[in-house]
Amino acid sequence: MTVDASESAPQPARQPVPRHAPVLVVDLGAQYAQLIARRVREAHVYSEIVPHTMPLSAMLAKGPAAIILSGGPASVYAEGAPQLDPALFGAGVPVLGLCYGFQAMARALGGEVARNGTREYGGTVLHAGPAPSVLLAGQPPRQSVWMSHGDSVVRAPEGFAVVAGTDVVPVAAFEDRERRLYGVQWHPEVRHSQFGQDQLVNFLTRGAGITPDWTTGSVITEQVTRVAAQVGGGRAICGLSGGVDSAVAAALVQRAIGERLTCVFVDHGLLRAGEADQVERDFVAATGVRLKVVDAQKRFLEALAGVTDPETKRKIIGREFIRVFEQAAREVVAEAGAHGEQVRYLVQGTLYPDVVESGGGEGAANIKSHHNVGGLPEDLDFDLVEPLRTLFKDEVRAVGEQLGLPDEIVHRQPFPGPGLGIRIIGEVTEDRLTTLRHADAIVREELTAAGLDRDIWQCPVVLLADVRSVGVQGDGRTYGPPVVLRPVSSEDAMTADWSKLPHDLLARISTRITNEVDEVNRVVLDITSKPPGTIEWE
């Protein structure tokens, strides 16, 4: 038996929604805000994350198709806990509250939330009813959901029907179909909630009347149109790193403006073994794009000399990138014979996680400055073109496949723009780069031989250059820097877990590095998830 809303009550009226108007995920302090946004996108609906501190007027100015209120760790009664503007619920926008968002919604609308000692954590059996439900339509009346709450809604606001409860919480979900307002106590965004994705889809399509048509093809069409309008008849250069982000960004922009795009590949000396050759060979062969290669190894090493602070290194690398691009832009104009025509636009492969982690997510904390966001110099002479700025990494890969880029580019493991410069803990020197480059090449070679390239997200290899450990090699004492392996699994880099590589593979990697790489006498494994750690060490 399944719950069917359509037979018991009229469906909410489907309102006309602008094409790809965003579903706003209001972050109320949740660890799962990014996950909610991803689940919405998996339902082929575009989503954005905004902070709860954003004024309601600013949220509504985005023309949202719907709003989802995230969970959060606070009690609605705690001093300083996030509060909701009651006017939100009279704005005519469909709203779904989750966990804390459900409780804050109930309280703002005159319901009652109690701290009565009733708690539910982990898997919990949900009972549908007594009223029919939009959210639970098409699902069994009993199902497992993931709970994490101390406070409970004990009385629904006026006008709301209670559509689900548990053995200990009678009001686990409510709905006001007339006003298109919905709330659930559990977390439908996590996989532990048995029918969680179905509930989100029901809210988006049945409750909010959104047509799920945000696809890879629509992203390409919209971004090509937007870039063509932004650049007009001008010229652009793209900072090509060899990674999937900049490659897909370049392919998108090339589709929009054609030969008026020149890709600039900066060999800054911070690359892994063989990467410069791979970029020149694979990307040009796949796209036919014009490519200008700039040898700037000496410039970057001199700029990084003596620098050990990771934020300073990132900012220096970002600054030097821009200075090189500015010179390359002048050369591009001269080589094209277009004297007097300025290259105004710089294409970057900036992704949504870059923006969020750099504090650019409209209220997000600055975790670290990505070279292409917080690391850019203030006197930037370019207008930025960032066609991937709202996408997660796996979405970018899908766009790349749709554009016809080869697997060698699309499924290349992520590599940071600042390169090995942020994988050396300490000062960046030529000798240290040589050491790390050799160790990294061994790791990549062994992962490929083991057939694990697609099974892990990436495996940063880190040189703890300022750390020394005692070792025994050749019957003698050694005193060298350790190498850290950081294999991680992820969907979008917003969260990650360490990859459980086979022990024999780890042993083989360790043996090869300590035998073949000068000075290194110890290999260690980083088994920290994200959070609390980040994927890169710096």
| Catalytic-residue membership of 491 | no
| Interior angle at CA 197, CA 164 and CA 454, nearest 5 | 150
**Closest C-alpha among 96, 25, 36 to residue 59:** 25
Q: Which of 175, 189, 320, 536 is catalytic?
A: 189
- The two three-digit tokens of residue 33, written as one number: 């805000």
Q: Which of 99, 238, 263, 459 is catalytic?
A: 99
SS3 string, 449-498, reads HCCCCCCCCECCEEECCCCCEEEEECCEEEEECCEEECCEECCCCCCEEE
Name the pairing type of β-strands 161-165 and 173-176: antiparallel
On whether the CB atoms of residues 153 and 106 are closer than 8 A, the answer is: yes
CA torsion 166-168-170-175 (nearest 10°) is -50
Sort residue 337 into left (φ over 0), alpha (ψ -120 to 50) or beta.
left
Residues in the chain: 538
- The two three-digit tokens of residue 346, written as one number: 């710089």
Q: Which of 120, 149, 175, 187 is catalytic?
A: 187
| Catalytic-residue membership of 238 | no
Dihedral sign, Cα of residue 428, residue 430, residue 431, residue 435: positive
**Closest C-alpha among 363, 414, 419 to residue 393:** 414
On whether the CB atoms of residues 464 and 425 are closer than 8 A, the answer is: yes
Question: Locate tokens 């804390």: which residue?
Answer: 100
Catalytic machinery residues: 99, 187, 189
